[in-house]
Amino acid sequence: MGSWNISFDRPPATLAKQLMLPRLMNLLVNPFAKAVLAGQSDFQSAVYEWGGNLALDHDLQVAHGLPQWPMIEFSNPALGASKTGRSKILLPDDFVLLSYWASASSNVKGGFRVMVYDVNRRRALTVRPVNFNTLAGIGSAPLFLRRPYPFGKSVNNSPPQAKITIVNLETVGNTIQFGFYGVIAPGYVQP
Amino acid sequence: MSSSPNAAVAASGILKVPRIHIVDNVVALNATQNAILQIQADADFEWWWLSISRTNALLKALIAEAGSGNRQFIYSGNPQAQNFQGILVDNLAGLVANNGALPIGVPYVMPAGRTYTHQFTDSSGAQNTVQFAYHGFALLRVAQ
């Protein structure tokens, strides 16, 4: 028996769907309004209380961390046609990843693909290269992780860091930005 | 019945007054300019959403919090990066009208009176008018 817990004689376990806040807000019946009716004292609070259980992690709300946008870019010079670029994002201790974001100046043939690897844990966060548009949105259309990912603390003087590999799919130079949105939340533990 | 408007204030004694702090700048073509956001002195500000409008998307921004070691909100993951100018503003947030405001995952409290430096760099080749709108609440202490 593997660890996947797959069984063909019973329906798959119900998994909650990834939801984007903009999409939530566009629902015909706004679930946040339901949360207000359920006794939340104000609408804005309801967005986060309800979203906390769905799109964001409620437990993070006690941390009051500094918002952070660590990032890399291939700009001046841009990443050459069909070239692969590698870089690292060094992170502060206790950085907790909430979402990715990305943009490319050229997106005719798919823009770029990206791989993300947690160096200290030696774990790939993307198993295969992911097209940037399927991994991340931009600031106006973020896809939040259902469970924020804590990168932890420095290990043997090696700060938390992510190795980023980017492959330009375009036949022209591509100005690329890729980064994380997250918070510094000491003591955060995934529920 | 109480006739005081403060009768409905939560037990914490804090009234959350909706407030929007604005940073406006007209960035000259291909220029780098700074603008300051100073939180109103009457109350701490609890930041919930960020929305941005700009003339042209080819505009980068850096934000730093003064008073606590100039903590950077936006920084290069590669400390050896040269001439780092920040994040393209469209990667940061969009318009409320397009459901594009970025929710701050963990609402962040900006202390009263603290300043936040914004550095804008235009690469559009034309004058770029930008506005950052910090949506949130003034945390007003109210005698009960």
Domain count of the fold of chain B: 1
Inter-chain touch A91–B99, beta carbons under 8 Å? no
State whether residue A160 sits within 8 Å of chain B by CB: no
Sequence-distant (6+) residues with CB within 8 A of B55 are: B124, B126, B127, B128, B129, B130
The whole domain housing A170 covers 67-184
Measure the N-to-C terminal CA separation of chain B; round to a whole number of Å.
14
Query: Rounded to the nearest 5°, which phi and psi values hold at A132?
Result: -60, -30
My answer on whether A109 and A168 are in the same domain is yes
Q: Where are any strands of DSSP class E within A6-143?
A: 67-79, 84-90, 95-104, 112-118, 123-124, 130-131
Mean pLDDT along residues A2-9:
47
DSSP reduced 3-state for A17: coil
Structure tokens at A70: 């660590």
Average pLDDT over residues B29-54: 94
- Please write the tens of the pLDDT for every residue from B74-96: 999 887 778 899 999 999 999 98
User: pTM of this prediction?
Assistant: 0.78
Interface contact flag, A139 B100, Cβ < 8 Å = yes
Nearest CA-CA distance, residue B16 and chain A, Å: 10
Say if A29 falls within a structural domain: yes
**Separation between Cα atoms, residue A30 and residue B96, nearest integer Å:** 16
Confidence of residue B42 (pLDDT cuts 50, 70, 90): very high
Task: Give per-residue pLDDT as tens, A89-138.
Answer: 999 998 989 899 999 999 999 999 999 999 999 999 998 999 999 999 88
Q: Chain B contacts of A59, Cβ < 8 Å?
A: none
Query: Measured between CB atoms, which of B73, B87, B104 is closest to A177?
Result: B87
Distance CA A19, CA A94 (A): 25
What CATH number is attached to the domain comprising A152? Answer: 2.60.120.230
B82: which 2 tokens? Answer: 């040269």
Chain B residues with CB under 8 Å of a chain A CB are: 10, 16, 47-48, 50, 52, 65, 71, 73-79, 81, 83-84, 87-95, 98-109, 137
Across B58-83, average pLDDT: 87
Of the residues A68, A88, A135, A138, the best mutation for testing chain B's interface (the one with the most B CB atoms within 10 Å of its CB) is A138
- Taking contacts as CB-CB distances below 8 angstroms, the residues of chain B near A60 are 105-106
Q: Determine the residue among A62, A71, A147, A151 to mutate to test chain B binding: the one whose Cβ has the most chain B Cβ atoms within 10 Å.
A: A71
**ipTM, 2 decimals?**
0.87
Same domain, yes or no: A168 and A91 = yes
Identify the band that residue A146 occupies on the pLDDT scale cut at 50, 70 and 90. confident
Q: A13 lies in a domain? A: no
Would residue A10 count as lying in a domain?
no
CATH of the domain at B78: 2.60.120
- How far apart, in whole angstroms, are the C-alpha atoms of residue B5 and residue A154? 50
Per DSSP, the three-state class of B93 is coil
Whether B76 and A71 lie within 8 Å, measured CB to CB: yes
Residue A156 near chain B (CB below 8 Å): no
- Residue A4 lies inside a defined structural domain of this protein: no
Domain count, chain A: 2
Give CA–CA dist B99/B105, Å, rounded.
16
pLDDT at A35 over 90: no
A157 shares a domain with A180: yes
Question: Are A181 and B88 a contacting pair at CB < 8 A?
Answer: no
Q: Are residues A32 and A121 in the same domain?
A: no
- The answer on A130 and A74 residing in a single domain is yes
* Residue A88 domain-assigned (yes or no): yes
The answer on pLDDT for A144 being more than 90 is no
What is the C-alpha to C-alpha distance for residues A57 and B143, in angstroms, rounded to an integer?
33
Boundaries of domain holding B40: 5-141
- A-chain residues within 8 Å CB-CB of B137? 44
In angstroms, the CA B111 to CA B40 distance is: 9
Residue A171 CA from chain centroid, whole number: 28
Please state, in angstroms and rounded to a whole number, the distance separating the CA atoms of residues B118 and A149: 28
Q: What is the pLDDT of residue B14?
A: 79
Shortest Cα distance, chain A CAs vs residue B24, angstroms: 19
DSSP SS3 for B14: strand
